[in-house]
Amino acid sequence: MKIGYVRVSTEEQNTARQELMLRELGVDELFIDKASGKNADRPELRRMMEYVRRGDTVIVESISRFARNTRDLLDLVERLTEKQIEFVSRKEAIDTTTPTGKFMLTIFAAVAELEREYILQRQREGIAIAKAQGKYRGKAAKDYPDFERVVARWRSGEITAVQAMNLLGMSKTRFYARAKLLDK
């Protein structure tokens, strides 16, 4: 079977171009993630890795859609290889059934990781410049209008901390940090 994998970084981005290309290649199943590629812990990628069987071919539009760093890419391809599954990246014309394809995969993975590092470096530099010019203040703090009331209920023992966090939709770290600020 031909298995297609599509990834875009955010919910707002469109997968149509990748989907069309894979459908034209005759993929039998398609797995689509709308998540950052900075790590390999993506729901549809996990599903696909469990789904594929010996003799299948996983096809992606480009290696940057599959993994953002060399370690993740090589790990994913190794897991596919152990299951006797081929990997094909159309953009880079990589086919892991050949020694040259395996070699090229390693080269392109390193280039993709380097590109990602350059993007992050430019982003950090841009933020530093914007901060210096007073144009960047970071992400706006989320407003929790009932925060003080819910914290008061928690401190009085009426509800547990977990219940308070659930009522507010806050993480444990954010909840305790913000509750501590009320004491100051």
Active site residues: 9
Of the candidates 33, 95, 99, which has an alpha carbon nearest to the alpha carbon of residue 66?
A: 33
Evaluate whether 36 touches 9 at the Cβ level (below 8 Å).
Answer: yes
Of the candidates 32, 17, 101, 92, which has an alpha carbon nearest to the alpha carbon of residue 62?
A: 92
Residue 115 to residues 60, 70, 120, 165, 169, Cα–Cα distance (Å): 18, 11, 9, 39, 36
H-helix or E-strand spanning residue 4: strand 2-8
CA distance 27 to 10: 23
CA distance 33 to 148: 38
